[in-house]
A and B are shown apart, each in its own frame.
Chain A
Amino acid sequence: MSTQSKFEARTVTALVEDRPGVLARIAGLCRRRGLNIASLAVGRSENPGLSRLTFVLEGPPSVVDQCAAQLERLVNVIEAHDITNMNHIWRELALVKVKTTTETRVEVLELSRVFRANIIDIGANSVTLELTGGREKIDSLITLLDRFGIIEVMRTGRVAVLRGTLFEGEEDGQFQANRNWANGVPHEYHITPGVSGSV
C-alpha cells in the first residue's frame, strides 16, 4: 500500500453517544489511521443522549474505504456510514464579513441577492452575509467578494442526510434514477447494516 497514493475524500455520518471524550476518541482514531478530518459538524440528534456527526474524511483509498468500519469499532459510536456513494443531500453554511463603503455596499447586497444569501448584520464599514449551500457555491461567493476586502470567513462543516426513497419497500439513499427496473436495485447501492467499507 503506497503512502504516495492519491488522497480520496469520503462523506461519513455517524450516530454517537453524547458524552465527554467521544470526539477525542474519534479524532484519535482518525489520526492513528492517517485520516485527515477535512470538515466536521456535530450536534444533538433526534434521540436524547445521542449526537449526529457528519465528517468529510480524507486519506489514501485503502484507508478511507475502511473508515466507517473503523469508527464502528469505538464503543461510543452507535453507527457510522460512508454515504459518499449513496444518494444524499448536503449543505454547508458560511458567515462572511465583507468591507463595504457607501459606494460598494449596493454591489455587495446585489451579489448576496443573486446567491440568495441573507444579510444578517450591517455596520458602518462592513456587511455580514449568511450563505448556505454546497461548497462550490460558497467558494464562488467568497471569490467574488474578495475584491471588496473580506474581513472574516466562518464556515461550518458539511452536514448531510440520505435522500428519502420514492418507492415503498426501498431504503433511503438508493440511487433510484440508476435503477434497472427489470432486475431490482443494483447490488452496489445496498446498504449493509453494521458492515461498511469494502466488504
Chain B
Amino acid sequence: MGKTLTGGDIVCEALLNEGVDIVFGLPGGAILPLYGVLGRYPDLRHVLVRHEQGAAHAADGYARASGKVGVAFATSGPGATNLITGLATAMMDSVPIVAITGQVGRAAIGTDAFQETDITGATLPVTKHNYLITRVEDVGPTIHEAFHIARTGRPGPVLIDIPKDVMQEVGTYDYKRDSQINLPGYRIPTAAPDEQIDAAVELINQAERPVFLAGHGVIISRAYDELKELAEKAQIPVVTTLLGISGFPENHPLHVGFPGMHGEAYASLALDDSDLIIAAGSRFDDRIVGNVNEFATRSKKIHIDIDPAEIGKAVPVDAAVVGNLKHVLAQMVPKANRGSRPEWIRHVEQLKSDHPSLHIPETGNLSGQHVVRGLSNVTKGNAIICTGVGQHQMWAAQHYRFTEPNSWLCSGGLGTMGYEVPSAIGAQLALPESLVWSICGDGGFQMTMMELATAVENRLPVKYAILNNNHLGMITQWQELFYMGDTQADAYTANPDFVKLADAFGMKGMRIDDIDDVESAIEEANAHPGPVIVDFVIEKVEHVYPMIPAGGSIKDLMEDTRV
C-alpha cells in the first residue's frame, strides 16, 4: 500500500524517486500548494529564477550538461506561457526536461479564471508529450511516465499541468519504476535490425570517399567512443553538425569541422565531394542542406536516427538505420572493413589548406573571433561553452577547439537569443567543478540578463563573455547582404554599461577592447572565484564567413576575401 500524501507532497516524493536534486522555478498562486510543501524536502534544491524562461533554459542547460532530466516549475497562466520559448528550444534540440505547472482549480478550468491558460493546448507542438492531471491518484504515475518519456528514445520536454486543488487533495502514492510503465504506443529503439546494419555497412565498405555527418545524437547517446572507433577503423573523416560539436575531438586527425551556412568551407566541400554521407544522429537540418536538390548530389546517404519519422523527412536516403546510435555504431564496428583511404584523407586535408576558413583577418581591431580564439587558448579547449544564436554562436562554433565530449551547449534548432545566460547557470549547477563560459551577444544577453541575479544568489562562478558590437550582428549581416543594407532597426544606441551592470548585480566586471588584453582578461576572470562579465567591445560590422545563403548550395559559398 502506498503512502497517503497531498498532491504537492506526491510531486516532491516522485521527483526525489526520479533522482532529481535541483529544480528551477518561480512560484505563483496556482502552484503554491507545491511550494508550500517544498521546504519539507531539503534534498530538492530550488533555484529561484527571475523569469520562467530562465527556468526552462537553466533546466535545459542542466540536462545537456549532466545527461539527466532538467526540471522547471512555473505557475499557471503567464508563468506557464513564459516557459514556452524554453520548451520549444528543448524540443528542437531533443533535450529532456520535465516542466511542472500549476493550473487553476478544476472547477475553474475553462471559465477564463484569473491566470488561467490552456497550457497543455498551447504547448502541444513544443513538447514531446504533455499532461493535464485531474485526479490526485494520477500525480505520481504521471510524473514517472513523464520522466520516462522525457529521457528515453529521442529525448524531449514533457509538461505536466496540475490544478491547484489536485495538489491540495490527499491521495496515495506508489513509486512506479520504468519497467512498470505501460505505454503501448511508445517504443524505444535500441539496437537496429541486422539487415539495416548490413545494408549500411555494405555501403560503407564499398565507398571510396565516405564522410560522417555526426549530429547531436552522438552526444545524446554518448556514442563518442563508438564513433571514434568506427571512424578510425574504416578511416572516415568526421564532419560534425553544429549540435554535434564536441561529439568528436577537434584535435583528432580525422576531424573536419562543421558544415552548412556558417560552417568551415572545407567541411561543406567534404560533404559535397564525398560519395557517401553517413548521417549519424543528425536530421539533415536546412542550415546544412540548403537547397535539397543540390545537396551532395554525388553521394549516397545512410541515415542513422532513433526517430523513424526523421528518415526521408529532409533528404532521400539510400539506407536507413533506426536505432540508438551508440548501439548502432557498436553493431557496425565489427562488420566494417578496416579502411585505407589515403587519397580521400589527403583530399580533405587539401581542402583544409585551400580554404583557410579559420584564419582571422587582421584589421587591428578586436573582433569576436579573437575573443573565442583567446578563450580556446587559455582554457585549452576544456571549458563548457554556452551560446545563444547569432554571430557570437558561429564564431564560438568555429574558433573554439573542443577537446572534451559534451562541452558545447547552444540553441541550435530553435535559435533562441538569450539561451546563453540561464543555460550556463544550469550547466554550472550540473558540473560544479567545471569552468563554464557563456559566450553572449549583446542582444541575446539583454533578453535574459536578469538571471545574473540567479547566478550571484547561488554563488555560481559562471563567466560571461559579451561579444559586444552594439548590434544584432547577424541581422545586420543579413540586411547588408540581402536586404539592401537597411540596418536602421538593429543598432543598439543605448546599451547599458555592462561593467556597471556587473557591479549592480554584485559581480566582477571588466571591459576589453584591445586584442592584446584578451587572454590576460580571460585568465583574470578564470582566477576570480565568483561570476564575471567581460564586456569585449568588438568590431561593429564584421560578417561571419564562410557563408552559404539560406536555400543555397555549395555553389553559393562565400568566403572571406581578406584571408
Contacts and interface: CB of A to CB of B under 8 A. Distances in A.
B475 to A, nearest CB: 26
Interface in A85-125: none
A78 interface: yes
B47 to A, nearest CB: 29
A199 B183 contact: no
A194 interface: yes
B312 A76 contact: no
A173 to B, nearest CB: 20
Interface stretch (A64-72, A157-165, A176-184): A64-72
Interface stretch (B119-127, B477-485, B526-534): B119-127
B186 A21 contact: no
B322 A195 contact: yes
Interface stretch (B165-173, B303-311, B514-522): B303-311
A32 B313 CA distance: 14
B308 A28 contact: no
A29 B148 CA distance: 22
A75 B183 contact: yes
A78 B121 CA distance: 21
B312 A197 contact: yes
A32 B127 CA distance: 13
Contact of A195 (B185, B308, B313): B308
A197 B311 contact: yes
A41 B111 CA distance: 31
Contacts of B311: 69, 195, 197-199
A25 B121 CA distance: 9
A1 interface: yes
B149 A75 contact: yes
Contact of B125 (A28, A69, A77, A196): A28
A5 to B, nearest CB: 12
Nearest to A67: B309
A185 to B, nearest CB: 16
A78 B320 contact: no
A16 B185 contact: yes
B120 A69 contact: no
B124 A65 contact: no
A98 B149 CA distance: 52
Contact of B186 (A25, A32, A75): A75
B124 A24 contact: yes
B120 A194 contact: no
A111 to B, nearest CB: 45
B184 interface: yes
Contacts of A62: 312-313
B148 to A, nearest CB: 10
**Best-surrounded residue of A25, A28, A195 (most CB of chain B within 10 A):** A195
Contacts of B312: 62, 65-66, 197-199
B196 to A, nearest CB: 9
A24 B309 contact: no
A32 B309 contact: no
Contacts of A66: 309, 312-313
A74 interface: yes
Contact of B187 (A16, A32, A76, A194): A194
Give the most central of B120, B187, B313, B322: most A CB within 10 Å. Answer: B313
Interface in B151-202: 183-187
The interface centre, meaning the residue of A16, A32, A66, A73 with most chain B CB atoms within 10 A of its CB, is: A73
Given A77-B185, A194-B187, A72 B124 contact: no
B378 interface: no
Contacts of A198: 311-312, 316
A63 to B, nearest CB: 9
B308 A76 contact: no
A72 B308 contact: yes
B292 interface: yes
B322 A76 contact: no
Contacts of A199: 308, 311-312, 320, 322
Interface in B182-237: 183-187
B129 interface: yes
A29 to B, nearest CB: 8
13 contacts: A16-B185, A17-B184, A66-B309, A75-B128, A75-B129, A75-B149, A76-B185, A78-B184, A195-B322, A196-B308, A197-B311, A197-B312, A199-B308
Interface of B: 120-121, 124-125, 128-129, 132, 149, 183-187, 292, 307-309, 311-313, 316, 320, 322
Interface of A: 1, 16-17, 21, 24-25, 28, 32, 62, 65-66, 69-70, 72-79, 194-199
- In the complex, the 3 A-B pairs of residues with the closest C-beta atoms, listed nearest first: A69-B309, A78-B185, A198-B312
Given A74-B185, A75-B129, A195-B311, 20 more contacts: A21-B132, A32-B125, A62-B312, A62-B313, A65-B312, A66-B309, A66-B312, A69-B309, A72-B187, A73-B307, A75-B183, A75-B185, A78-B185, A79-B185, A197-B308, A197-B309, A197-B312, A198-B311, A198-B312, A198-B316
